[in-house]
Structure 1
Amino acid sequence: MKSGLFACCAFVAAGSVSAAEKVTVFAAASLTNAMKEVAALYEQQTGTASILSFASSSALARQIAQGAPADIYLSANEKWMDYVEQQKAIEPDSRKALLTNSLVMVAPESYLAEQIEISASWDLTVALQGTRLATGDPNHVPAGMYAKQSLENLGLWPQAMPLLARANNVRSALLLVEREEALLGIVYKTDALVSEKVKIVAELPASSHTPITYPTALVKGQADAAARAYFDFLQSEQAQMIFEKYGFGVAARAH
């Protein structure tokens, strides 16, 4: 069904790009599944292949600031895009708000509770049954930063802080729950939706943390025709349909 729709749209900018060219994209780990599909579609349509590097936004931002050979950066929060902008590592006119996301609490499919009512009176220690609460490290991983904000606003941070399993990216946190090494975890809703081994037991209120936005930008000195065409494609309706399929909201609607 999608192939017919995709085939009807052409990308003028991509026409001048050699099929032999590759574009290197540094993207937050939570974008893994969606970006692989976007990249496959783009290569099918244009012949331009992608080199995709997934990690925490903080790790990628530091690499870009140190001169890593990326063409495009997709961050899971504004802070790390601010950082690369302050380091003058991105093209200043290229920064765009691309996507949105939300936070959920997940548990293994085998976990007895189907829904959890999160409040300041909730006993997290009992709920974890001797395990830990998995999330991204709140010191540098965006998902963990948002999780900390939410837990603070919900009155749970003092209880949760010593019980955290601090993962180096959100997919690693999800994996801890999938393996039942942690019986609860806070991840993006999009991560929960791609896993068959966890269930969503609570949605964290959007009002409990700053809005989760995914900005993207061209890396400084890499804004050639191939990179710009790919960058434009990320904002196209075709790419947006893929992102939405994986549960992301679209911040930048194509015209």
Structure 2
Amino acid sequence: MRFVLSLLALLLIAGPAAAQERAPLVLAAASMQEALTDAADAWTKAGHERPRLSFAASSALARQIAAGGRADLFISADSDWMDDVAKRGLVVAGTRAVLVRNQLVVVSRPGLPRVVATKGAALGKLLGGGALAMADPDSVPAGKYGREALTRLGAWNVVAPRVVRAENVRAALALVERGAAPYGIVYATDARAATGVQVAGVFPPRSHAPIVYPIARLTAGESAAAEGFRRFLLSRAGQAILARRGFSTR
């Protein structure tokens, strides 16, 4: 009996400690790769277990969560996919917050004409017979923002036949980097992280919904350290790290 009681006591002590030591799993929009890696590096240097980071299109991550995939934190590139997860009861109440904001730009290979005006057929004329790389506008946030902006500016019907749909914004950027598409629509932070591309134009902020990245803890999470990392990302120190990669923290 004494042995059993001692074993139970050890389990009670080890249980919370084991949970605390488990590194949080973070599912994040593909556009956050460099910024979130920097933040994870800083968190680890401060003596914490390194967070596990998984990047993909917000749409794919939200579907993964809805299908029962276990993770501790979700960072979406738009509010819609976070809303979808929240409506399913998979977000911990009171933990959702806006982490960062972004801009939408047109990128191209160096030397190609810049997009002086994105209204009407201007972009269509530049494309000629070439392709316009975008994240899938039916589901991926970057593509949805892009289609909304082009529609409001009266250019979507002109460029739609030229659109090459990519699984996420980084895949769209890669098409331009490799020369498979002369132009592409990505976030400003993606353009900043890329090599061999130039910003050919910037979409007016009012041409699309504000680009916000919400963060929240997930109910399926098992890491006691997840809340600490979430708070760190939202802290002044964490926000400064993300801002260095071009994200707006206002």
TM-score normalised according to structure 2 size:
0.89
2:95 counterpart letter in structure 1: S
Q: Residue 36 of structure 1 aligns with which residue?
A: 37
Q: Residue 119 of structure 2 aligns with which residue?
A: 119
Q: 2-side partners of 1:123 and 1:218: how far apart?
A: 40
* Structure 1 counterpart SS, 2:53: strand
Please say if residues 18 and 48 of structure 1, whose CA atoms lie closer than 8 Å, have aligned partners that are also in contact: no
Question: Per-residue deviation at 1:163?
Answer: 1.0
Q: Residue 154 of structure 1 aligns with which residue?
A: 153
Question: Per-residue deviation at 1:222?
Answer: 2.1
Please say if residues 26 and 74 of structure 1, whose CA atoms lie closer than 8 Å, have aligned partners that are also in contact: yes
Q: 2-side partners of 1:221 and 1:144: how far apart?
A: 29
* Structure 1 counterpart SS, 2:176: helix
Question: Per-residue deviation at 1:223?
Answer: 6.6
Unmatched segments (≥5 aa) in structure 2:
1-16
Q: Residue 241 of structure 1 aligns with which residue?
A: 240
* Structure 2 counterpart SS, 1:46: coil
What is the number of residues matched between the two proteins?
234
Q: 1-side partners of 2:36 and 2:208: how far apart?
A: 25
Deviates more, 1:77-86 or 1:62-71: 62-71
Q: Deviations over 1:91-125 (max 9, x none)?
A: 122111111101000001242x245322214151x
Question: Per-residue deviation at 1:147?
Answer: 0.3
Please say if residues 99 and 213 of structure 1, whose CA atoms lie closer than 8 Å, have aligned partners that are also in contact: yes
Q: 2-side partners of 1:127 and 1:89: how far apart?
A: 44
Q: 1-side partners of 2:148 and 2:175: how far apart?
A: 21
Question: Per-residue deviation at 1:21?
Answer: 2.6
Question: Per-residue deviation at 1:221?
Answer: 3.8
Please say if residues 22 and 224 of structure 2, whose CA atoms lie closer than 8 Å, have aligned partners that are also in contact: no
Q: Residue 104 of structure 2 aligns with which residue?
A: 103
* Structure 1 counterpart SS, 2:171: helix
**Bigger CA radius of gyration:** 2
1:31 counterpart letter in structure 2: M
Q: Residue 192 of structure 2 aligns with which residue?
A: 193
Q: Deviations over 1:122-154 (max 9, x none)?
A: 151x42243210111011000000001100000
Q: 2-side partners of 1:71 and 1:19: how far apart?
A: 13
1:64 counterpart letter in structure 2: I
Identity of matched residues, %: 38
Question: Per-residue deviation at 1:17?
Answer: 9.1
Please say if residues 109 and 197 of structure 1, whose CA atoms lie closer than 8 Å, have aligned partners that are also in contact: yes
Please say if residues 27 and 75 of structure 1, whose CA atoms lie closer than 8 Å, have aligned partners that are also in contact: yes
* Structure 1 counterpart SS, 2:46: helix
Please say if residues 123 and 155 of structure 2, whose CA atoms lie closer than 8 Å, have aligned partners that are also in contact: no
Question: Per-residue deviation at 1:45?
Answer: 0.5
Q: 2-side partners of 1:23 and 1:206: how far apart?
A: 34
Q: Residue 14 of structure 2 aligns with which residue?
A: none
* Structure 1 counterpart SS, 2:122: coil
Deviates more, 1:144-153 or 1:46-55: 46-55
